[in-house]
Amino acid sequence: MRPLIARRDPLPPGLRRETAQAPQPAPRAVEPPAARTMAAAAPEAPRDPAPSIWSYRVQRLWLTPLFRKLVRVGVPAFVLCFGGLVYFGDAERRAALWDAGQEIRREIESRPEFRITVMGVEGASDRVIGEVRAALGLQLPMSSFDLDLAALRDRVEALPSVASAELRIQSGGYLAVRVVERVPALIWQTRDGLALIDAEGHFVASLDDHLLERPLPAVAGDGADLVVGEALALHAAAAPLGDRLRGLVRVGERRWDVVLTDGRRILLPEQGAVQALDRALALQDASRILDRDVLRIDLRNPDRLTVQLTRPALEELERLREMERDTLSGERNG
C-alpha cells in the first residue's frame, strides 16, 4: 500500500497576491505535549441516566394535586395576606381607608334615587293611621339606607289596634305601610273600664277612645278574653232573645251567666253551655218561663232544672201555701 503524500500545488501569481493580502488568523495556542497526553489518557466518567434522589422527590411532589394547588393558590394568597398585614399595620393607613369608605358611602346614600320623601299608610282607619305615624316618627325626607324596615314593622305591630303590618320602599321615594287593623268583636267590661277585644281576645282599644260603627255584644268577668269564641257562639245562640239580652258574665273563669235587661239570669254549665242555652230558649217558647216571676234559671245540673222566683212571687207562693195548710187543718178538725 502506497502512503498518502500531500503536495502543495503552485498557485497562479494573481491568486497568490490576493491570498497574501488576506488577513491571517491568530496563531493557535499550542498545548504542551504533556498536557495533551494527560487529557487523552484521562477516562470519561459514565453518565447515570437516573435522576438524583432530590430531583426525584421534587418531581413526585410536584405531581401531587394538593402541592400544586398550594403553590399556585396558597403562595400568592400568603404573599397578599402578608402584604396586607404589613400595609394595614399602620394605624394612619387604616384610618385613611376607613374615612375614604365612609365618604363613598355618604355620597351613595345622599343620591336622590335613594331618598324617601313620602310615606303612606294603607288599610287602616284615620285613628289608626295617626297612631301608626306617631309610632314610626319618621322625619322625611331621609335616606332609605337609614331605615330599618324590620324594626319599623315591629313598632307598628306593637300597636294594640294593628294585627299585622308590611313596609315596602317603592319607586319615586315612596314608603308604603300596609296595615291589617284589628276588628273589635266584643265589649269587655273590666275593673279598669270598658275595652274592645277582637275575635282572638286581643285588646284593640278603650271604648272611650274608639267610636263604634255598630253595636257589639258585651261580656264581663275575669278570663272572658280567653274564651271569646265561646262567647260569640253564645251570643249567636241567644239571638231569639233580641233586645232582652244584656250580655254574658264569666263566673270564676269557668262558666257563663246569661244576663237579661231586667236582671234575670240563666246560669249555664261549664260544659255544653250552648246546648243548655238552647234548652232554656226552647222552654221559653213552650211555657214563656221568662215572662213569669222568675229571677234565675239554673241549668248547671243537666239532669235537673232549678228556678228561683222573685220576692213577690215567693210571698204569693207562701200565702197560697198558708191558705192550703189552713184549709187542710179545718177539714181535719171538722
**190: part of which helix (H) or strand (E)?**
strand 186-190
pLDDT value at position 50? 58
Q: Which is the CATH superfamily of the domain at 186-315?
A: Cell division protein FtsQ/DivIB (3.40.50.11690)
Sequence ranges of the domains in the chain:
53-90, 112-181, 186-315
Query: Which of these ranges, 18-22, 176-180, 227-231, has the smallest mean pLDDT?
Result: 18-22
Arithmetic mean of pLDDT, 244-251: 94
Per-residue pLDDT of 51-72, as tens digits, reads 677 777 778 777 888 888 888 8
Among 46-50, 191-195, 223-227, the least confident range? 46-50
Please give the grid coordinates belonging to residue 127. Answer: 285613628
Q: Over the stretch 79-96, which tens digit does the pLDDT of each residue have?
A: 888 888 887 777 887 888
Overall pTM > 0.85: no
Strands 306-309, 193-197: pairing kind? unpaired
Report d(CA 177, CA 122) in Å as an integer.
6
The fold adopted by the segment(s) 112-181 is: Ubiquitin-like (UB roll) (3.10.20)
Contact call for residues 184 and 212 (beta carbons, < 8 A): yes
